[in-house]
A and B are shown apart, each in its own frame.
Chain A
Amino acid sequence: NAGVTQTPKFQVLKTGQSMTLQCAQDMNHEYMSWYRQDPGMGLRLIHYSVGAGITDQGEVPNGYNVSRSTTEDFPLRLLSAAPSQTSVYFCASSFMGFGEAFFGQGTRLTVV
């Protein structure tokens, strides 16, 4: 039972580069979300989705895009990486609302 799988686990980007963080869940959860974790800031919501084809912005959406073409996948795209996007990114999914969320292992991203 894989749960929520994120790839890659680590990534170093140069400023201005773009990339996609992958997230897949096998629990048939309707709700999926992306968070970034920075020291002392907790986890801040970037984007979320309540089902295939439906996405919305969270607290810190600037510089990121998402799409949800299937129930299983919810990729996060960095359009033009900036040092301020250096962070640990977590994808999460849940079945009934966002309370009981299951998190992936995270992607540690460094932008130089």
Chain B
Amino acid sequence: QQQVKQSPQSLIVQKGGISIINCAYENTAFDYFPWYQQFPGKGPALLIAIRPDVSEKKEGRFTISFNKSAKQFSLHIMDSQPGDSATYFCAATNAKAAGNKLTFGGGTRVLVKP
């Protein structure tokens, strides 16, 4: 049973466009929501993360929007570049629980066309 649902599975965007990836979660105990970026042949790497006490977090061209009441959060990649082509995973965890564990979404493969 997947507790974090991610969509779309893949998307293609032109250079300079906006990539939007959505995630929804079920467990209201989740209190930390990271996004990971994975290039082919590499392990995932932390990209940006948010806690539910804020509705938005921005780091450079990457922005997380968080809607606690809807139990949804999304990643926006502004001015998408070919170097952003990668697989993106949302995740969630209860950071305060002992032995807290990351629950991942299914991933979104992003292709940015030049």
Which residues of A are at the interface with B, using a C-beta cutoff of 8 A? Answer: 4, 33, 35, 40-45, 48, 50, 56, 58, 90, 92, 97-106
Contact = CB atoms under 8 A, between A and B. Distances in A.
Given A99-B32, A106-B43, A43 B49 contact: no
Q: Is the interface of B mostly helix, strand, loop or mixed?
A: loop
Interface string B100-114: 111111110000000
Interface residues of B, number: 28
B87 to A, nearest CB: 10
A100 B43 contact: no
Nearest to B32: A99
B14 interface: no
Contacts of B106: 40-42
A100 B34 contact: yes
A102 B102 CA distance: 12
A105 B93 CA distance: 22
A41 B103 CA distance: 11
A44 B104 contact: yes
B52 interface: no
